[in-house]
Amino acid sequence: MSRVKTIPGQVRTCPICRATILETASICPGCRHHLRLDPRAGPRTWASSSPLRVEGTIRHPAHGEPWEYCVVLAIRNEKGEEIARQVVGVGAVKPEEERTFTLDVEVLSPVAQPAKSQ
């Protein structure tokens, strides 16, 4: 069975939530649904790591007007040039409410498959 070659970083649309995801994803990182794989592609194993994870919480004090927030994600290349910028979410925090925000960057690398003996 021959594998369909994918280009690293190639994207597609999740059929469930319509998010832009990697072509190689078997689980959508947005909606977390398992996706049907292309049967022509054959099995592919990936090793993942999270070299960057940042989490923070904002808590509104007991008194005062609500706070508004806007979560913006920007990605820059090695030259410092912005290659992507997206508003991820907006909202408000009322007195005594809190919100926790987490940024998790997952890096995937293919795991070499042992050669089949003929």
- Structural domain boundaries, residue 88: 49-110
pLDDT at site 1: 46
Residues 22 and 54 in one domain: no
C-beta of residue 19 within 8 angstroms of C-beta of residue 81? no
Residue 115 falls within a domain, yes or no?
no
Alpha carbon separation from 73 to 10, 68, 91, 94, 96 (Å, rounded): 20, 17, 15, 23, 26
- The band of 82, judged by pLDDT with boundaries at 50, 70 and 90, is very high
Q: What is the mean pLDDT of residues 16-26?
A: 86
Residues 53 and 103 in one domain: yes
Q: What is the mean pLDDT of residues 9-29?
A: 86
| The model scores a pTM over 0.75 | no
pLDDT at site 71: 95
pLDDT at site 11: 87
